[in-house]
Chains A and B, each alone.
Chain A
Amino acid sequence: IAGITQAPTSQILAAGRRMTLRCTQDMRHNAMYWYRQDLGLGLRLIHYSNTAGTTGKGEVPDGYSVSRANTDDFPLTLASAVPSQTSVYFCASSDSSGSGTDTQYFGPGTRLTVL
Chain B
Amino acid sequence: GQNIDQPTEMTATEGAIVQINCTYQTSGFNGLFWYQQHAGEAPTFLSYNVLDGLEEKGRFSSFLSRSKGYSYLLLKELQMKDSASYLCAVRDSDYKLSFGAGTTVTVRA
Measured CB to CB, the residues of A under 8 A from B are 31, 33, 35, 40-45, 48, 50, 58-59, 90, 94, 96, 101-109
Would you call A58 and B42 a contact (CB within 8 A)?
A: no
Give me the 7 closest cross-chain CB pairs, A-B, nearest first.
Answer: A106-B42, A42-B101, A43-B99, A42-B99, A101-B48, A106-B43, A103-B45
Q: Which of B41, B96, B101 contacts A40 (CB 8 A)?
A: B101
Whole-angstrom distance between the alpha carbons of A33 and B94 in the complex? 13
- Cβ-Cβ contact count across A and B, 8 Å cutoff: 48
Chain B residue numbers with a CB within 8 Å of A40 are 101
Q: What B residues does A109 contact at CB under 8 A? A: 41-42
Nearest residue (CB) in A for B48 is A101
Interface-centre pick from B50, B87, B96 (highest chain A CB count, 10 A):
B96
CB pair B42 A90 closer than 8 Å: yes
A5 CB to closest chain B CB (Å) equals 11
Q: Are B101 and A58 in contact (CB under 8 A)?
A: no
Contact of B97 among A41, A45, A50, A108 (CB under 8 A): A45
User: Are A45 and B96 neighbours in the complex by a CB distance under 8 Å?
Assistant: yes
Q: Does residue B24 face the partner (Cβ distance < 8 Å to A)?
A: no
Q: Which residues of A contact B33 (CB under 8 A)?
A: 103-104
Q: Which residues of B contact A (CB under 8 A)?
A: 4, 31, 33, 41-45, 48, 50, 87, 89, 91, 95-102
Chain A residues in 8 Å Cβ range of B43: 43, 90, 106
**Interface contact B87-A43, CB-CB below 8 Å:** yes
A-B contact pairs, 14 of them (CB 8 A): A40-B101, A42-B4, A42-B87, A42-B99, A42-B102, A44-B99, A45-B96, A90-B43, A101-B31, A102-B95, A103-B45, A104-B97, A108-B41, A109-B42
For the complex formed, measure the closest distance between the CB of A100 and the CB atoms of chain B, giving whole angstroms: 10
Nearest to A90 among chain B residues (CB) is: B42
State how many angstroms separate the Cβ of B82 from the closest Cβ of chain A.
Answer: 19
Q: Nearest chain B CB to A33's CB is how many angstroms away? A: 8
Residues in chain B near residue A94, CB distance under 8 A:
95
Instruction: Provide the residues of chain B in CB contact with A90, threshold 8 Å.
Output: 42-43
